[in-house]
Amino acid sequence: MSFLRIENVAKHFGSLIAVDGVSMSVEKGECRAVIGPNGAGKTTFFNLITGMLDLTSGRVLLEDQDLAGIKPAERVRMGMARTFQITEIFPDLTVRENIRIPVEIAAGLHLAPRVPTARRAELRARIDQLMEEGGLTRIAGRYAGELSHGDQRACEIMMALALNPRLLLLDEPTAGMGDDETHAIARLIRRIHRDQALTIVLIEHDMRVVFNLADKITVLAEGRPLAEGTPAEITANEKVQAAYLGGAA
């Protein structure tokens, strides 16, 4: 039984076929990369997994549970969290406040009128832990909207991690970054994957990041599956070289 199983999923927008017949099985604790040229359907594919878009056909299963009809918020409660291609944070709140919100949601206390003193201490400890893991302690009091792009992305990743996911989906986590920020985010993802044995699926254009992080890679082209394999197998695949890697070199 695969932890995440995608069976022949498709998404049509009228006559436009954005995703067509994509299947993928991800094992528990695996880091899977999804790559492909612009317009390959990668983000649409993520939106089908997370329930932000309804399937035209096919199935998405998490630990053999069919997710048909399950809304995005309920998928989060089931252990699925994601980040977005455009960083989603609360710019007018501090870094600490950004982390506090998902911590309280995960604890079921975001709507509680009063929180017991002992419980507040537990929440503070969890917030401190996440900020330390994400390298955010030094900027805890700064407004998120003032941060560098790399620090904003780290904040968003830790906000997703605050929800205690079993499956973390990252949509282009290093997009728009210079080398130093790219290396910092890649190290953060590697550390999360290693220390928590978390199942991660990421969309990424930077092949240095992909080949250094991914256990396996799925390649999409024009909404269809092109290839799947280890980094070494994908590097040697002539179809991938012609459609993607060769053009990026």
DSSP annotation string for the chain: --SEEEEEEEEEETTEEEEEEEEEEE-TT-EEEEE-STTSSHHHHHHHHHTSS--SEEEEEETTEE-TT--HHHHHHTTEEE--SS----TTSBHHHHHHHHHHHHTT-TT-S---HHHHHHHHHHHHHHHHHTT-GGGTTSBGGGS-HHHHHHHHHHHHHTT--SEEEEESTTTT--HHHHHHHHHHHHHHHHHH--EEEEE-S-HHHHHHH-SEEEEEETTEEEEEE-HHHHHH-HHHIIIIIHHH-
Is the predicted pLDDT of residue 249 greater than 60, yes or no?
no
Q: Which residues pair with 225 in a beta bridge?
A: 220
Is the predicted pLDDT of residue 115 greater than 90, yes or no?
no
Give the domains, in start order, of the chain with CATH numbers. Answer: 1-79+166-249 (3.40.50.300), 89-164 (no CATH)
Is the predicted pLDDT of residue 67 greater than 50, yes or no?
yes
Cβ atoms within 10 Å, residue 245:
17
Instruction: Give whole-number Cα distances, 132 to 73, 95, 123, 127, in Å.
Output: 27, 12, 14, 9
Amino acid at 109: L
pLDDT band at 248 (very low <50, low <70, confident <90, very high): very low
pLDDT band at 108 (very low <50, low <70, confident <90, very high): confident
Residue whose pair of structure tokens reads 């932890």 in the numeric block: 3
pLDDT band at 110 (very low <50, low <70, confident <90, very high): low
What's the pLDDT at 111? 58
- Length reported for the chain: 249
The percent of residues in the chain predicted with pLDDT above 70, rounded, is 95
pLDDT per residue over 8-35, tens digit each?
Answer: 999 999 999 999 999 999 999 999 999 9
What's the pLDDT at 87? 87
Average pLDDT, the chain: 93
Is the predicted pLDDT of residue 112 greater than 90, yes or no?
no
The percent of residues in the chain predicted with pLDDT above 90, rounded, is 86
The answer to whether the CB of 82 falls within 8 A of the CB of 170 is yes
pLDDT per residue over 138-197, tens digit each?
Answer: 999 999 999 999 999 999 999 999 999 999 999 999 999 999 999 999 999 999 999 988
The answer to whether the CB of 143 falls within 8 A of the CB of 91 is yes
CA torsion angle 129 133 134 137 (round to 10): 50
DSSP-assigned letters across all residues of 10-29: EEEETTEEEEEEEEEEE-TT
Burial class for 222, CB neighbours closer than 10 Å (0-12, 13-18, 19+): middle
Is the predicted pLDDT of residue 220 greater than 60, yes or no?
yes
pTM score of the predicted model: 0.92
Residue 198's nearest CA partner among 212, 208, 183, 213 is: 213
